[in-house]
Amino acid sequence: MYESVRRRIEAESKDFPDDCAAPTGHLTDIRNLDRKFGGRVVRAHQRGLRSSQLFSWAFSPAWEEGGTRSRTGDVDETHKNFSSPNGVYLRHTASGAAIFRWPDPQLAFIDTTLYEVNILPVLTANCTQRKSTTVAAQWIRIAYHDMSTHDVNDGSGGLDASIVFELDRPQNVGTGMRDSLNDFTSSTSPHVGMADIIAMGAVLGVASCGGPVIPYRGGRIDAQVAGPATVPEPQQDLQSHIDAFKRQGFTQAEMIALVACGHSLGGVRRDDFPQIVDATAPNGFANFDGIPLKFDNAVVTEYLDDTTANPLVKTANVTTRSDLRIFSSDGNATMQSIASPDNFSKTCATLLERMINTVPKDVTLTEPVEPIESKVGGVALIPQNGSYVLRASLRRLSTNPNRVVTMFWEERNGQGSFCPPAGCPVNSTSPSVSGVSSFAALKGVNKFATYIFNAQIPLNTSVSKFWFTVDEKDGSGPQVVDNGGSGFVIDQDTVLFDPSRTSATRTSFSLVIAVRTADATGSNPPIVSIETYQPGGPDFIPTIQTVGVQQDTTHAATDAYTFFTANIFAGITAIHVNSIIGGKIFSQYVGSSDFRVIL
């Protein structure tokens, strides 16, 4: 199936408009799909994106509606790319923060990874120490090295995870690179690749050591090949450093400040640079400043008052005193300007944000992703015991014991025949209260409250959409949560991932897909396959595979559905169910966060 769709993309790509029209509507063919993603499907393909990755994008919209790669600004905001000289390509919205329109697996995943109790914030919590340095220092260094391939002259390179192909270069010496990628790889998903996670690492690392909270945007695209070998090295002369930073998009003053910001944490390892760190250094490690567990201005003040032990300033090997040459290159003017804690923090916030947003010119980043106020997830429509069960959850950013959350749904068939005009109401279970990440706490979020719904829906009416009201019982009245007006649309009920019949062992999943029997038989048998996403192994490159799905009579045909099963490895973290039924393409994405919730 993928081959044929790929051929169609190639055949038809020449007359795709290159504008950013993003029509809504059903996904019926690949042409619409490409338009829906503003031409990105074809452009990504033309750039040589692996077709497997392309199809992860292409088939990513859960329930077809919404469009996963549609950025949060698509719905109601201005739609313009701004580029700054250093290759920061951002789409701006009037509101300034990303707007979550379910299903948007990209934003949902970023929110989960940054703000829920998750592996990345935990790994760097309270500026965790590791191998004489900190996790945060390792994560900031890898982000800079990955970004260093950017060239403002042609917009190529930048933070694109090309580092995974560059690890053997002397510029990237040190265990910190592989340590970091090992930390990151399980947190990737079809919509948030390694480049996005590297950028997240820098944001989380800085904040975890008491540094500024840098806004996080997603949307980077992982490179498929190595970039140029352009990471600066300590033995190079000042002019080559000025030239390198200029090519990356930073002026000389910005170079001075950015190096100071980066070298606020961590230090130099003797194993990696024996010519810089001598044998007397404790544990073979020389810190850049006297407060290595804090992202602060000590690297600047110690340099200015000459109490510094920064190895790149003081090493006996004059050739490798790169920080000294850089810091003093404008007569210390820049270092003096960032000597106060406040100026240091503000300058570093700006420059580090620019660093992580320095991306190849054809990448458009989302708006900053703040904790999502009303996050819908775990949605599944399951044929069961003579009706459907519609499962869904609504996560709110605070708890309130008085709050009443009600779900409403509307029929797909025979509208008005079953539900009143205001929709069929469904009560939630008592909310489950969960903790937040340390990063969410810095944004003022202390607890999540999640409301779970199980709506019984007749098979003959089915469901077209659902929405919620949230009443805080504080006199302000119920607030409608309806996905920006569209409701949470269940686009189709022909092919449904069935979590209730799916089973898991320690090593595998037996995934069950329900196909409506009327469409599953006859002369046009359904074609169902599952594309699976498994995060990268030792090479840090994810595996995307297509798995065949067989009709499975161990689940007796019932409730107008026939069941298909695929056996997949338990290490899979996301799936796309792709099918052609009666000549129509159907797609359902079940992302990592929902995989956990639904199963």
Compare residues 262 and 431 and give the one whose CB is closer to ligand HEM.
262
Element (H, E) at 478: none
Chain positions 435 to 474 lying near ligand HEM, rule: CB under 6 A, are: none
Compare residues 268 and 585 and give the one whose CB is closer to ligand HEM.
268
Compare residues 97 and 244 and give the one whose CB is closer to ligand HEM.
244
Instruction: Using alpha carbons only, give the angle 202, 207, 211 rounded to the nearest 5 degrees.
Output: 105
Nearest distance from C-beta of residue 159 to ligand HEM, angstroms: 12
Any contact of residue 322 with ligand HEM (CB under 6 A)?
Answer: yes
Any contact of residue 142 with ligand HEM (CB under 6 A)?
Answer: no
Residues 6+ apart with CB under 8 A from 476: none
Nearest distance from C-beta of residue 368 to ligand HEM, angstroms: 20
Compare residues 42 and 268 and give the one whose CB is closer to ligand HEM.
268
Among 41, 268, 572, 581, binds ligand HEM (CB under 6 A): 268
Report the first-to-last Cα separation within the chain, whole angstroms. Answer: 27
Place of tokens 């069961």: 384
Nearest distance from C-beta of residue 141 to ligand HEM, angstroms: 4
Any contact of residue 265 with ligand HEM (CB under 6 A)?
Answer: yes
Compare residues 239 and 503 and give the one whose CB is closer to ligand HEM.
239
Place of tokens 């900190």: 134
Among 57, 59, 102, 144, binds ligand HEM (CB under 6 A): 144
Any contact of residue 249 with ligand HEM (CB under 6 A)?
Answer: no
Element (H, E) at 190: none
Q: Residue 402 CB: number of other CB atoms within 10 A?
A: 8
Q: Residue 101 CB: number of other CB atoms within 10 A?
A: 22
Among 67, 105, 201, 266, binds ligand HEM (CB under 6 A): 266
Any contact of residue 396 with ligand HEM (CB under 6 A)?
Answer: no
- H helices within 60-174, ranges in order? 105-115, 119-123, 135-147
Bridge partners of residue 467, in order along the sequence:
408
Q: Using CB under 6 A as the criterion, what x/- string covers residues 333-372 for binding ligand HEM?
A: ----------------------x-----------------
Segment interacting with ligand HEM, rule: CB under 6 A, options 263-271, 460-468, 544-552, 559-567: 263-271
Positive/negative CA dihedral, 278, 281, 284, 286: negative
Residues 6+ apart with CB under 8 A from 59: 531, 576, 578, 587, 589
Among 41, 44, 75, 261, binds ligand HEM (CB under 6 A): 261
Any contact of residue 241 with ligand HEM (CB under 6 A)?
Answer: yes
Nearest distance from C-beta of residue 221 to ligand HEM, angstroms: 22
Any contact of residue 315 with ligand HEM (CB under 6 A)?
Answer: no
Any contact of residue 62 with ligand HEM (CB under 6 A)?
Answer: no
Among 137, 206, 372, 470, binds ligand HEM (CB under 6 A): 137
Question: How far are the Cα atoms of 35, 109, 507, 554 from residue 4, in angstroms, in the given order?
Answer: 19, 30, 32, 32
* Residue 578 · residue 531 · CB < 8 Å: yes
Compare residues 137 and 159 and give the one whose CB is closer to ligand HEM.
137
Q: Is 246 exposed, middle or buried (0-12, 13-18, 19+ CB in 10 A)?
A: middle
Any contact of residue 257 with ligand HEM (CB under 6 A)?
Answer: no
Q: Is 272 exposed, middle or buried (0-12, 13-18, 19+ CB in 10 A)?
A: middle
Any contact of residue 201 with ligand HEM (CB under 6 A)?
Answer: no
Nearest distance from C-beta of residue 493 to ligand HEM, angstroms: 50
Any contact of residue 516 with ligand HEM (CB under 6 A)?
Answer: no
Any contact of residue 263 with ligand HEM (CB under 6 A)?
Answer: yes
How is residue 135 written in tokens? 């996790």
Chain positions 173 to 192 lying near ligand HEM, rule: CB under 6 A, are: 173-174, 176
Question: How far are the Cα atoms of 384, 459, 462 from residue 389, in angstroms, in the given order?
Answer: 7, 10, 10
Half-sphere exposure of 528 (CA within 13 A, CB side): 27
Nearest distance from C-beta of residue 260 to ligand HEM, angstroms: 9
Nearest distance from C-beta of residue 347 to ligand HEM, angstroms: 12
Compare residues 5 and 203 and give the one whose CB is closer to ligand HEM.
203
CA distance 538 to 570: 18
Question: How far are the Cα atoms of 80, 144, 215, 528 from residue 94, in angstroms, in the given order?
Answer: 11, 30, 16, 41
The answer to whether the peptide bond before residue 401 is cis (omega within 30 degrees of 0) is no
Any contact of residue 278 with ligand HEM (CB under 6 A)?
Answer: no
Segment interacting with ligand HEM, rule: CB under 6 A, options 47-55, 150-158, 227-235, 463-471: 227-235
How is residue 541 written in tokens? 């490159």
* Residue 72 · residue 560 · CB < 8 Å: no
* Residue 424 · residue 492 · CB < 8 Å: no
Closest CA to 510 of 572, 576, 590, 565: 565
Among 133, 334, 494, 532, binds ligand HEM (CB under 6 A): 133
Any contact of residue 121 with ligand HEM (CB under 6 A)?
Answer: no
Nearest distance from C-beta of residue 258 to ligand HEM, angstroms: 5
| Crossing angle of helices 252-262 and 341-356, rounded to 10° | 100
Any contact of residue 138 with ligand HEM (CB under 6 A)?
Answer: yes
Among 262, 371, 383, 487, binds ligand HEM (CB under 6 A): 262
- Chain contacts with ligand HEM (rule: CB under 6 A): 133, 137-138, 140-141, 144, 173-174, 176, 232-234, 241, 258-259, 261-263, 265-269, 272-273, 322, 326, 355
